[in-house]
Amino acid sequence: MNLLEEALAGLQSITARASSESDQVTAEVDGNGTLTGLWMDDSISSLDAHTLATMITSTTREAARLATEQRTRVMTALQDGFGRV
């Protein structure tokens, strides 16, 4: 039971942030990859819409990838724990 509770708490606490190479965009996602925060520097006003959209998308994708890594670690720990039971 403790294994499941620890895994559930671990999954619920996952959050990941990523910033664009230029640090103009920062995205934050939860453990499901849902966007929970998006910050943009004032300097984005000089970017065209396509460049900005690409930057937002790739930064959010990177944050989701980092969250997936965290989720995988939690699930691996759970599976390993069941192997010891």
pLDDT for the residue numbered 85: 58
Q: What is the mean pLDDT of residues 50-61?
A: 98
Q: What is the pLDDT of residues 15-41, one digit of tens each?
A: 999 999 999 999 999 999 999 999 999
Residue 27 to residues 3, 7, 81: CA-CA distances in angstroms? 31, 25, 32
Cα(54)–Cα(11) distance, integer angstroms: 29
77 vs 60, higher pLDDT? 60
Q: What are the E-state strand segments in the chain? A: 15-19, 25-30, 35-40
| CA–centroid distance for 60 within its chain | 8
